[in-house]
């Protein structure tokens, strides 16, 4: 079985590619290695995928952009399954350059969907985001909650998943959109809150909380996200649907910072700074639909996941930490 993972040198895509190879799949990764964050971490993800191939399936890395229609078409034509993780990330950065986010996240997704429609792919799994919801009318978010994103990033992810579901309806394309809720874990992007909290505390500096810290987040451990994607290799129960993929609970940001601090250096104080207007106040996933259709059961509470990440960080600090700003 040949599996294409777009954005497969990124955090989630890298873990997916690694797991698929371990399961014996022939994996092709497409990634443009953009410099939104240090490319050394992406190169590490590629190296991990290649190492996994020594005892499992095959791994091939292709450097390229999902905006390249000809390249995308050629790769999708050879694939049985497509896990479309490639996207321009970052809520705050999207405010500065919304057209870039539209070009990559929307037009790039259309390239993938068109190629999949034309070549009878078994299934396309599109990575969406909790950012599609915007300001909550109620919590936890279920999939019937209004989608009113408050950032260009959120708008671009909503457009890409709506195109995916429209292709399922109009062209009978087997496609599923997964709305991820703040995914974290080993090899995560260095500009995420948990990474910065851990890094600063490891270096004797207080974790910085933006705003008053009463914002809440539903943090999802990477292993749970990978399991949800793996399920879609074997079931068509969710075709045409958008599903929340979240955790078992949510947590205030200031509580999360204190949790990290207490595990590493309890003598540190919390530091507060101005928050960004594009950041959501609260996120919390209702995963009933994913549980019903995919038997999805997240296995990590935020405290369990943070504990595992701190342990991994300590073991990999030598190569991982230089990618994180500790100013």
φ, ψ (nearest 5 deg) of residue 124 = -115, 130
- Distance in angstroms (rounded) separating the CA atoms of residues 1 and 15: 18
- Characterize 38-51 residue by residue with b for buried, 16 or more Cβ atoms within 10 angstroms of its Cβ, and e for exposed: eeebbebbbebbbe
Q: What is the pLDDT of residues 25-74, one digit of tens each?
A: 999 999 999 988 889 999 999 999 999 999 889 999 999 999 999 999 99
Helix or strand or coil: residue 294? helix
Put simply, whether the predicted model's pTM sits higher than 0.85 gets the answer yes
**With contact defined as beta carbons under 8 Å apart, do 156 and 105 qualify?**
yes
Binned average pLDDT, 10 residues per bin, the chain of 327 residues? 97 98 97 90 96 93 98 98 96 94 98 97 98 94 96 97 98 98 94 92 95 94 98 97 94 96 96 80 94 96 94 95 55
- Distance in angstroms (rounded) separating the CA atoms of residues 193 and 309: 13
- Tell me whether residue 210 is one of the annotated catalytic residues: no
pLDDT given at position 278:
63
**With contact defined as beta carbons under 8 Å apart, do 116 and 173 qualify?**
yes
Which one is catalytic: 59, 101, 141, 153?
A: 153
Which residues are CB-contacts of 245 (< 8 A; sequence separation ≥ 6)?
A: 178, 179, 180, 181, 220, 224, 225, 228, 285, 287, 290, 296
Of 3.40.50.300, 2.40.420.20, 2.40.30.60, 3.40.50.720, the CATH number of 2-181+222-245 is: 3.40.50.720
Structure tokens at 296: 């999805």
């Amino acid at each position: 079985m040949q599996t294409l993972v777009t954005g497969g040198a990124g955090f989630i895509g890298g873990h997916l590619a690694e797991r698929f190879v371990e399961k014996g799949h022939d994996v092709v990764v497409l990634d443009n290695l953009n410099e939104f964050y240090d490319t050394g971490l992406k190169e590490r993800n590629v190296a991990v995928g290649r190492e996994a191939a020594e005892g499992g399936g095959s791994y091939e890395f292709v450097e390229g952009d999902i905006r390249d229609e000809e390249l995308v078409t050629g790769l999708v034509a050879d694939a049985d399954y497509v896990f479309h993780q490639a996207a321009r990330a970052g809520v705050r950065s999207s405010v500065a350059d919304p057209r870039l986010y539209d070009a990559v996240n929307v037009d790039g997704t259309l390239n993938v969907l068109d190629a999949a429609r034309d070549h009878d792919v078994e299934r396309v799994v599109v990575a969406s985001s909790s950012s599609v919801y915007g300001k909550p009318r109620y919590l936890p978010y279920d999939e019937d909650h209004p989608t009113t994103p408050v950032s260009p990033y959120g708008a671009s992810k909503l457009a890409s998943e709506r195109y995916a579901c429209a292709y399922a309806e109009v062209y009978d394309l087997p496609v599923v959109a997964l709305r991820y809720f703040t995914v974290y874990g080993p090899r995560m992007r260095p500009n995420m809150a948990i990474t910065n909290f851990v890094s600063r505390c490891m270096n004797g500096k207080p974790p910085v909380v933006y705003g008053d810290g009463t914002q809440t987040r539903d943090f999802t451990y990477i292993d749970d996200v990978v399991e949800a994607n793996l399920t879609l290799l074997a079931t068509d129960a969710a075709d045409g649907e958008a599903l929340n993929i979240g955790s078992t609970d949510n947590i205030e940001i200031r509580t999360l910072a204190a949790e990290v601090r207490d595990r590493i250096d309890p003598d540190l104080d919390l530091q507060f700074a101005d928050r960004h207007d594009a950041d959501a106040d609260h996120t919390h996933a209702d995963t009933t639909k994913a549980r019903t259709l995919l038997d999805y059961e997240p296995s990590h509470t935020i405290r369990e996941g943070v504990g595992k990440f701190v342990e991994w960080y300590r073991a990999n600090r030598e190569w991982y930490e230089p990618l994180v700003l500790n100013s």
